[in-house]
Amino acid sequence: MAARTLFIEGPAGVGKTTYALRHIRDLLAQGTGPETMLVLVPQRALGRPYQAAFTAPDWPGGAQIDVVTLGGLARRGLETFWPLVAKQAGFAHPEWEPIFLTIETAQYYMARFVNTAIRTGVFDSLNLEPAHIMRQTLDNLSKAAVNSFPLDEVADRLIAAWGDRHSSRPPVYRASLDVAQEFRDYCLETSFLDFSFQIELYIKFLLNEPLYRVYFTQRYRHLIGDNLEENFPVVGDFIRWAWDDLDSALLLYDTDAGYRVFLGADPGGMYELKELCADTQVWRDPVNTSPVMVALTGDLAVLLDPGREKPVQPDVNPLEGLVYESFRFYPEMIDWVVDSIAGLVDSGVPPREIVVLAPFLGDALRFGLSTRLNERGIETVSHRPSRALRDEPAARAILTLMALAHPEWSYRPPVDDVTHALQETIDGLDPVRAWLLTQIVYRPSRDDLGSFDIIKSDIQQRITFQVGERYHRLREWLLEYGSGAERFPPDHFLSRLFGDVLAQPGYSFHTNLDAGRVVAELVESGRKFRQTISMYHDVEDWSAVLYEYFSLAHQGMLAALYVASWRDEEKDAVFLAPAYTFLMRNRRVDYQFWLDAGSDYWWERLEQPLTHPYVLTRSYPPDQNWTDDLEFAARRDALCRLVTGLVRRCNRTIYISISNLGISGYEQRGPLLRAFQQLVQRYPAPGGLRS
């Protein structure tokens, strides 16, 4: 049993991570080797406070301390001890080295089985695109792995949860799990390992290998587990497996969090690790948090979930931390947000101390906010980690140019896509002139773009000769590549298109840092795709491989997590993001803007007919129906956790914006709005509050 073990629980902002860093410093001061310490986090982004501290000038010198996720440990272990696992797990060629799939390459190989099943008509009862079927099937594989469920249990749980309400669902669940099994059998044939298979092999086989236990216990003697509430059930299994051989353990639990439930996190199950520890502490007092925000947190928690006990809180008016405005129309709300942010920046507030949050951040909303703030001289950055590659405007433009460069594919992009690509990439080309240019130079029946020289002179003048020259250079590059015999792998093509044309002066990507980030992620995605394909296939025709990559991205391939996207927060820029994305960055800011607080989207979860984040957990009874009451309770709890988490991460003021008519024109009266209305009625309005 670990000699020194401590479990600390408390809400965000009480200093748990700060204490963990001090604990690590104390171990180093006592002569403990840094290589014997393991910091275990649920997501790489949540390990950044540790990595930042370890690279700071005042950090004690020496080897770096490992900051990893369970997925990282699994991959390292399987790479090193593959011969011990491969034969036991039933791989057809245990002598082959494993090939680790990204979420993108996993979707590529899963697609063939999904598309085959779709052609049989088994998914006809679902109004889902193939990409959604693919992603939810992969999600079921992940849910099975992180809970140590067999695949049959996943289907049984889903069927039991819906009872007799959806008689059409059981065959669909079975079909999805059949596809998952076909994919898993293919992985056994090819030594492919997606995330779910890595976790399954690590927990089921490698942790039972005596040689791996000797290796692990000799390497790691001290465990720091942070943000336990965001981790998977199998992480609890792993900690129990390692426990008796540790010299010390520090476990940290955020009592108000649990935001990754939809990804398989099990806050309740992870809390049971408290019983392992010799000492436990409950921390309640936030560090450097204003009394107003403490009071606001407590009041909102009780208003959103009346069953909660109201905590002891300061005798202050929580409305002093709010600025509250209501508008009839959505554009008026956006005007107010932009004006308010500009006012803060003009008064000396650094842009990075401002975040704009919404339940979902659509293209129109992000574009409108970023464009208008940029016009005020305020830089913005955004991050939407669950977005498909094609949904990023810059990526969509490049995919269209990729299709135009490959006439042998016999795929002709729609006119609207070509218009968007030209407007997105050519600097100085507005949407109206982009549409006009496209109408003249592009015909889906032709293999290439027409020349600017064939356009009538008066139309050329309207488009401008400067834009025409830039269009000419882009067209020449596409024609030269398209007529050549050589074809490049995806990452090579993307790098050349970006470097030769799009990053040059006269093109929008030359100064658009956000577009540059998207291209960098596309290049990395293409590189991993090429490496995976070339490890298993002798590639003779890169055009075919590039077309496979294009097709998958065009269908809605979900992008992998790229670390560069999470580093954007270091810029002095206003951060635009979905609310949950901001929470998983675990950073504090002075000012938050909550958009469209009347929307039901603040508490609704995405409809996923092939999977279920609550039913597919260990804590949920396997034979229990999922009722409307359970759905309501889950939504209420999730909204309460979301709101309290956001308030705890604000230092000064939260700006609440309300649009009586949403972006689609319907009246909005969501539960978050009702909570704010009750709050405003309870307290006298301070001087700064407007409604």
Determine the pLDDT at residue 337. Answer: 94
Rg (CA), the chain: 27
Name the residue with higher pLDDT: 340 or 312.
Answer: 340
Give me the mean pLDDT over the 621-636 stretch.
92
Looking only at the bridges linking them, the beta strands covering 222-225 and 192-193 are unpaired
pTM of the model: 0.85
- Residues with Cβ within 8 Å of residue 606, at least 6 apart in sequence: 262
pLDDT, tens only, 488-505: 888 898 899 999 999 999
User: What whole-number percentage of the chain has pLDDT above 70?
Assistant: 93
pLDDT, tens only, 181-225: 999 999 999 999 999 999 999 999 999 999 999 999 999 999 999
Looking only at the bridges linking them, the beta strands covering 279-282 and 66-68 are unpaired
Give me the mean pLDDT over the 24-48 stretch.
93
* pLDDT higher than 80, residue 308: no
If pLDDT is split at 50, 70 and 90, which confidence band does 586 have? confident
Determine the pLDDT at residue 504. Answer: 92
* CATH number of the 4-73+203-282 domain: 3.40.50.300
Determine the pLDDT at residue 368. Answer: 84
Check: CB of residue 415 under 8 Å from CB of residue 442. Answer: yes
Helices 490-497, 393-404: crossing angle, 10 deg rounding = 100
Euclidean distance between CA atoms 284 and 299, whole angstroms: 16
Euclidean distance between CA atoms 154 and 174, whole angstroms: 9
Coil vs helix vs strand at 38: strand
If pLDDT is split at 50, 70 and 90, which confidence band does 1 have? very low
Name the average pLDDT for the chain. 88
Determine the pLDDT at residue 567. Answer: 54
Name the residue with higher pLDDT: 377 or 545.
Answer: 377
* pLDDT higher than 60, residue 560: no
Give me the mean pLDDT over the 42-68 stretch.
87
**Which superfamily, per CATH, for 291-386+570-682?**
P-loop containing nucleotide triphosphate hydrolases (3.40.50.300)
Coil vs helix vs strand at 598: coil
Check: CB of residue 441 under 8 Å from CB of residue 450. Answer: yes
Closest-CA residue to 71 (of 228, 238, 246): 238
* pLDDT higher than 70, residue 382: yes
Determine the pLDDT at residue 411. Answer: 85
Taken in order 318, 594, 352, 645, the sign of the CA dihedral is positive
Determine the pLDDT at residue 621. Answer: 93
Determine the pLDDT at residue 13. Answer: 86
Determine the pLDDT at residue 165. Answer: 60
Determine the pLDDT at residue 108. Answer: 84
Coil vs helix vs strand at 139: helix
Angle (CA) 547-549-553 rounded to 5° is 115
Coil vs helix vs strand at 147: helix
